[in-house]
Structure 1
């Protein structure tokens, strides 16, 4: 896992979108669909960001779910054309494992491998307790690098 942190939070973002979603399969699907439409409305390519959100939201539902708690999706497009995706769930103790390709016949376990393939950087941040945030960044997204 790439633990480099960028300074997107201190930059003045060109665009930002935040939403709380139910920690259900329907909420994960909605996160993906909302990401596609939000990035499209900003005039940026959406395919890579949509795929990353699909994987991170699915992980939040499968591994970060606490009954009665939602997960948060934040999309930030910085003036530098870097897209930062953050998914915050309610299980700080359930940290993602290293991204790796699972055995060929495994039915799951490819999500973070895909995130690593699509993102330029990704990692986790603790808090606020009892939460954690899994984030990913794509550089030069508005220039069409990731399509």
Structure 2
């Protein structure tokens, strides 16, 4: 007998936006996330909104800093599956540089952002694409 694989239930709603791989594009990704999560019923300042904003800020900053390829945008995708799952995806054009959740040393000035993602998300990971990669996180809201 084959094991039963649970199928997702509930309505799926999605938001997608291409953004310039600049600091301005990263800030816009965060603002769009807060706006969309609010539209889905999680007001600005709520735990769900704050967690989503922090995760997008980290993923977008990494896409702009480490995933930038001249002439290529990065993509923000938000997926809401009723009743309680929010999935955040940020895709960039650099598949050769994968995120690391460990800073380079105790005195390193960067490399700690994914620790925040781990604290907020129920799961996160990286998926390869034909060109580049998608970094994703899921929240239970």
Using the size of structure 1 for normalisation, the TM-score is 0.82
Q: Which SS does the other structure have where 1:17 is aligned?
A: strand
Structure 2 vs 1, CA of residues 12 and 36 (structure 1 numbering), >3 Å: closer, same or farther?
Answer: same
Q: Report 1:1-147 matches (<5 A).
A: 12-13=11-12, 15-44=13-42, 45-97=48-100, 99-100=101-102, 103-127=105-129, 129-139=130-140, 141=141
Q: 5+ residue gaps in structure 1?
A: 1-5, 142-147
Structure 2 vs 1, CA of residues 11 and 66 (structure 1 numbering), >3 Å: closer, same or farther?
Answer: farther
Provide the alpha-carbon RMSD of the alignment. 1.9
Q: Kindly indicate whether structure 1 or structure 2 has the higher relative contact order, using CA contacts under 8 Å at least 6 residues apart.
A: 1
Structure 2 vs 1, CA of residues 102 and 118 (structure 1 numbering), >3 Å: closer, same or farther?
Answer: farther
Q: Greater CA radius of gyration, 1 or 2?
A: 2
Counterpart CA distance in 2 for 1:107 and 1:63 is 15
- Deviation track 1:88-137 (CA, whole Å, cap 9, x = no partner) reads 0000111112x23564432211111111111110001111x222100000
Equivalent residues of 1:101, 1:113 under 8 A apart: no
The alignment covers a number of residue pairs equal to 131
Equivalent residues of 2:10, 2:83 under 8 A apart: no
Counterpart CA distance in 1 for 2:82 and 2:56 is 21
Using the size of structure 2 for normalisation, the TM-score is 0.85
Q: Which SS does the other structure have where 1:65 is aligned?
A: coil
Matching residue of 1:3: none
Q: 5+ residue gaps in structure 2?
A: 1-5, 43-47
